[in-house]
Structure 1
Amino acid sequence: MSTSTSQQFHDPLVGRETEGLPAGFFDRFMFNMHPVAGGAPSVIMGHGRYPLKDTVDGFVVVSTETEQRNLRYASKLSAAELDGAGPFRFEVVEPNQQWRLQLAPNEIGVEFDITWQARTPAWFGTVAVQNDSGTPTSFDHLFQSGFYTGTLSIDGQTRSVDGWYGQRDRSRGVRTMSGGQGLHIWYQAQFPEFAVGFLLVETRDHQRLLLEGAVMHTDGTLDPIVDVKHSLSFSDGLDLEEGTVEVTTAAGQTYRMQADARSGGGYMAGAGYGGHHGKDLGIDHVESDSFPLDGSVSPKTLDSALTDRLATFDLDGVPGSGIFEFALTRSSRYQYRPTL
């Protein structure tokens, strides 16, 4: 794995005309949005292009206190608008600094017109992993903390989201990491003066496969993360409940954060992460469904265990909030093992 922080990430998505792309190439972004104090609603949206397949798709996932609503859309890349597909539109107003995101009326009763503004520098680098399948993973990866302005409407009730937190993720390349993974964490904890962001992947025999990330300060400082330890509690349904994460940085700083992840929702199966991205579903395909948040749905019951849970954090009495993305393998041979 190699990382770089001295240049700007190429933020606009790769266009239809790009030639010489490797097999399996994708270009995707994801944003999430939530109140600074945490708590419902949690909104997650994403959009991806697959030029060699001539497809484009995306999703919006909204978790309230009682349910998760899922909207998925897809189209032919050659037929879609350059600024989105289905009811979703985006604009890169200023690369690495500002995006506008819009959701028109649709069947899940959620609309928004919001602007994401960076509040920290971005961490980005290139992830390279050899896989058992023989097809290597190699993709550019970015994450960055920001805040929102604009409005969100749920069932006709409109509210301002001015000042709400949001993390974004950009990835571009070939990502075929499948098989052999035991624990996956994409951790984005936002605090008033910095955000702690990293991606950690461990194998089923508890060896570290991947670690990337940094503490991103609002004063422009980036402090790369060099070690992560964790002690997490999961339900029988493989759902994260709470836990402690300790991060060590290149500058020698240690951050030990407590997380409460019992709010529910954020199941990324509703966003198509069970192997459905990039499929040819024709032109202007839109579908939706919902999950009750009553305990009947869990990472163990869905076609993907990946979960982007809105969590609250505590760092030596300083409150934070953000997305604690996690997934445990459902292999009977694996049992989670804390490292802290």
Structure 2
Amino acid sequence: MRHVATSDRNFYDRYYFNCFPISGDMMLIIGVGQYPNLGVTDAFALLRRGTAHQVVRASRELGADRMDTSVGPFRVEVIEGLKRLRVVLEECGHGLAFDLTWTGSIPATLEPRHYLRWQERVVFDSTRLAQTGRWEGVIEHGGERIAVTPDRWWGARDRSWGIRPVGEPEPPGIQARNSGTFYWMYAPMQFADHSILAIVQEDEKGRRLLEEAVRVWPDPDREPDFLGRPDYRPVYAPGTRDAVSATIAFTPWDAEPFEVQVTPLLPVHIMVGTGYGLEPDWRHGMYQGEKPVVQGVVHDTEQEADRFWGLVDAAARFTYGEHEGYGLYEYWALGDHPSLRP
């Protein structure tokens, strides 16, 4: 999108991908975004493997060609629209590279519009499509070449666009009076013959701001099954807000209620080093200068444990009845919420 319908500085247009083996011993997360009203495009790749939290990130001026999805060593190629994409990070001296092809397992599915108004200002007004799928290709990390095959390497992707906070920080003004609550769960889960997409967002009083519960089939001619109002019940490690398990209950109007058990396999703190808001010098859409910039960031999740908080994107196992699958379990419990009170 070269010129968008709004002049809001926070307009964005972004790819998100995750890629992990079902063994859950590593997870790769990739993002590529364009910010037309800020004149910036950027990208990141985050690999969590063992205690290593390794990020490669790049930024450049956006320019006029919106079909150019390259950002330094990153690029996204559409092989078959809404079905197959190639995602590449070329070797750039930071110990991580990959050449991966994504194939969707279900049709790309439009999620509910995400709209939030705080202190009279619209801070979220975005649209997103989601899709589960499989990966094939190679990851190179620390001198090791890792084969990625679709029988073992699963994942989810989304493409979203609209308004959400990006770029350099603004003066908070009256927004400083916000409660600071962000109670969120997002779980695109993939099973052998179907996927379930579930979203829950609530405010500090437990009121629903956004929700979705739908079963999607590989056959594009088969209508999705709507699964009613999802009920989300996480279990946290004592004294923390780190989820060790969760239950997501569904109540379809035309079938028996059922519960999906969630087992996180590998937590990945996606806000560390990637631009989601924790570092003042690198945020999505932040102008990094006239010349393209490529950086590498490496942290140790044990030695620097205090650094790792915020939104978690966990590779997870999902089970219900005879079904076992894998997918993304994304959650954050920030601030006050009824479920967190004694």
Instruction: Tell me the TM-score normalised to structure 1 length.
Output: 0.84
Q: Specify every segment of 5 or more residues in structure 1 that has no aligned partner in the other structure, as ranges.
A: 1-13
**Amino acid across the alignment from 1:293:** T
Q: SS state of the match for residue 284, structure 2?
A: coil
- In structure 2, what is the Cα distance between the partners aligned to 1:271 and 1:62? 11
Of 147, 160, 165, the residue aligned with 1:171 is 160
2:325 is aligned to 320
Q: Distance in 2 between matches of 1:121 and 1:172?
A: 19
Shift in alpha-carbon separation, 1:132–1:148, aligned structure 2, 3 A:
same
CA contact (8 A) 1:49 1:77 kept: yes
Instruction: Look up the match of 1:8.
Output: none
Contact 1:30–1:168 (8 Å) recurs in 2:
yes
What is the match of residue 228 of structure 1?
A: 230
State whether structure 2 residue 141 is matched by structure 1 residue 154: yes
Aligned residue in 2 for 1:214: 214
Residues 44, 72 of structure 1: alpha-carbon distance in 2 compared, 3 angstrom cutoff? same
* Conservation of the 8 A alpha-carbon contact between 2:267 and 2:313: no
Q: Distance in 2 between matches of 1:225 and 1:135?
A: 32
SS in 2 for 1:336: helix
Distance 2:225 2:108 in 1: 11
Structure 2: where are the runs of 5+ without partners?
Answer: 167-174
71, 77, 83: which one aligns with 1:91: 77
Matched residues, percent identical? Answer: 24
Cα contact 1:189–1:195 (8 A) shared by 2: yes
- CA offsets per residue over residues 158-202 of structure 1, 9 Å max, x none? 232121212111111112599543411111221111121122101
Which residue type is aligned with residue 60 of structure 1?
A: A
Asked whether the equivalents of residues 200 and 232 of structure 2 are also in contact (C-alpha less than 8 Å), the reply is no
Cα distance in 1 for residues equivalent to 2:252 and 2:7 = 34
Alignment of 1:1-340 (within 5 A): 14=1, 17-23=2-8, 24-35=10-21, 37-78=22-63, 82-136=68-122, 137-163=124-150, 164-176=153-165, 179-180=178-179, 181-220=181-220, 221=222, 222-235=224-237, 236-249=239-252, 251-252=254-255, 254-274=257-277, 276-282=283-289, 283-294=291-302, 296-297=304-305, 301-302=307-308, 305-329=310-334, 331=335, 333-334=336-337, 336-337=339-340
CA contact (8 A) 1:32 1:167 kept: yes
Query: How far off its partner does 1:140 sit?
Result: 1.5
Q: Could you state the TM-score of these two structures normalised by the residue count of structure 2?
A: 0.84
AA paired with 1:78?
A: G
Equivalences, count: 317
* Secondary structure, aligned partner of 2:330: strand
User: 1:322: Cα distance to partner?
Assistant: 1.2
Q: Partners of 1:313 and 1:31 in 2: how far apart?
A: 19
CA distance, structure 2, for counterparts of residue 256 and residue 92 of structure 1: 36
